[in-house]
Amino acid sequence: MTVVELKTRPRLPDWLRIKLPTSDRFARTHRLLDELKLHTVCESAKCLNHWECWEKGTATFMISGDRCTRACGFCAVSTAKPLPLEADEPRRVAEATRRMKLKHIVITAVARDDLADGGANHFRKTVEAVRELNPGIVIEVLVPDFNESDVAIESVLAASPHIFNHNLETVRRLTPSARHRATYDRSLSVLRRVKDKRGDTIYTKSGMMLGLGETEAEVLKALEDLRLVGCDILTLGQYLQPTLKHLPVVEFVSPVKFEEYGRRAGELGFVHVASGPMVRSSYHADEFNLPSAHR
């Protein structure tokens, strides 16, 4: 008799348990997004926080479709041949933002390596549409690396988002296995270029997942590298394996360790740090109090 060992995901520790929504606001948010035919990274990336965020009436809009041209080892977003861009998507994102009465919006996208500009112009149009319909809103973009294209980066910056977010995701050693067709140095270069182009008029932001097997020394080195390119805002959260086909969790990092990393990041000079097991790139993004001089 042959014994087959089934692959299973490890049991989550108590600090990663979630509470299901108790009000109807979650359902209302779901209906609105469905009505406007919008994608969110909350659903596409199987984020555990989407229960909490949708109940609060917040969401991270994912533009340019829900098919990514890359196949990163950590990400649940589908990899497939993308569909053409939808010309009215920027208007629909702006309308959802108005109806949800958002004060801070996060706009992200799948990687679109099939497009000459990587989808940068679609970002610009979406930011402009959101601002036109929602004056005074704080706009954060969470972008792919655009293959380090200056033209693409300039296109996004032309719309004057308040926060430019691009995730480093993990430490240098683990980048090749975790990030398809992305590199550690390219991500740092994208953040550096934004600072070089816009200086103190824009905040740059980046995030990392912990629990993929990185060492403390590697994490601290990554934080130093981010500060060296002028990164202002940092998020650190626990990696969770979305399916058995994705990279396994090597370690569940304790809340105490996240607190320590958050403290060390503050000492390095980040102006805002969110560090905790449930933290994601746009989780509680509105807790960063954007100074009035930057609005």
Percentage of the chain exceeding pLDDT 70: 86
Mean pLDDT of 2-26: 64
Q: Is residue 4 part of a domain?
A: no
**Domain assignment present for 10:** no
What 3-state DSSP class applies to 279?
coil
Whether the per-residue pLDDT at 83 is higher than 50: the answer is yes
| 55 is a domain residue | yes
- 182 within some domain: yes
Most confident by average pLDDT, 26-30, 56-60, 202-206? 202-206
In a domain, 16, yes or no: no
Mean pLDDT for 176-204 is 95
In a domain, residue 222? The reply is yes
- Where are any strands of DSSP class E within the chain? 39-40, 60-63, 67-68, 78-79, 104-109, 138-142, 163-165, 203-210, 233-238, 272-275
- Rounded to an integer, the average pLDDT of 60-64 is 92
Residues 119-171: pLDDT tens digits?
A: 999 999 999 999 999 999 999 999 999 999 999 999 999 999 999 999 999 99
Residue 272 lies in a domain: yes
Of 238 and 22, more confident: 238
Per the model's pLDDT, the better-predicted residue between 76 and 8 turns out to be 76
20 DSSP 8-state letter: P
> How many structural domains compose the chain?
1
Q: List CB contacts of 215: < 8 A, sequence separation 6 or more.
A: 171
* pLDDT average, residue stretch 249-267: 97
Angle in degrees, 0-180, between the axes of helices 150-157 and 120-133, rounded to the nearest 10 = 0
- Specify the pLDDT at position 282: 73
Q: Is 85:121 a contact under the CB 8 Å cutoff?
A: no
* Cα 63 versus chain centre, distance: 13
Residue 181 lies in a domain: yes
pLDDT reported for residue 40: 80
- Boundaries of domain holding 43: 23-286
CATH number for the domain harbouring residue 157: 3.20.20.70
Distance of CA 140 to the CA centre of its chain: 10
